[in-house]
Amino acid sequence: MSLVTRLFGSGRKPEPIITLEVEGLPVQEQPDLETVRAAVLGLSYPRPTFLCLTHKNGDYLQVVGTRPWCRIERRTQNPLNHECAFQDTPKPKFVDGVPLNSGAGEIIMAHDEWFLLKHAADIFAAFFARSDFPTYLQWRSMNAMFE
């Protein structure tokens, strides 16, 4: 490394560690936790109804929905998995096949895939911090859809 580079840097912007993509808005590099939580809690119809938080390694967490309900999915790179969030004690007590409306259209939901946006904000906070997810959260594989 040259003396000039050590003193003044390479002039290149460092790659962001985390990015936030919210439907209809510019990508935000290096958002803080408050921004992420506010974006999740701010999902509403007609827009935005979708957002994605991506770590530098390619792992991401995405949510689609409107007040108060949403669906959460994640993708991990190592091992390569795509999963949908679910919970043993569903809220509300919907049956399988009820649609969730979003800007992308209707998403047919299983009875245990419904989450409140306030719970999604907690899940996104854990992903942001690379800490453990809440204990009520479980993951169901969606890999077959992508094969």
For the chain, what is the mean pLDDT?
Answer: 88
4 in a structural domain: no
20 in a structural domain: yes
How far is it, in rounded angstroms, from Cα 94 to Cα 113?
10
* Closest C-alpha among 97, 127, 131, 129 to residue 114: 97
Question: At 47, is the pLDDT very low, low, confident or very high (cuts 50, 70, 90)?
Answer: confident
Question: At 134, is the pLDDT very low, low, confident or very high (cuts 50, 70, 90)?
Answer: very high
Q: At residue 1, does pLDDT exceed 60?
A: no
2 in a structural domain: no
8 in a structural domain: no
How far is it, in rounded angstroms, from Cα 141 to Cα 129?
23
7 in a structural domain: no
Residues spanned by the domain of 46: 15-146
52 in a structural domain: yes
Report pLDDT digits (tens) over 8-33.
555 565 666 999 999 999 999 999 99
Report pLDDT digits (tens) over 77-90.
999 999 999 998 77
36: which 2 tokens? 């992420």
Residue 130's SS3 state is coil
125 in a structural domain: yes
Q: Into how many domains does the chain fold?
A: 1
What is the pLDDT, as a whole number, of residue 102? 84
Question: Residue 74 CB: number of other CB atoms within 10 A?
Answer: 21
137 in a structural domain: yes
In DSSP terms, 101 is beta-bridged to 106
Q: At residue 48, does pLDDT exceed 70?
A: yes
The DSSP code for 47 is: S
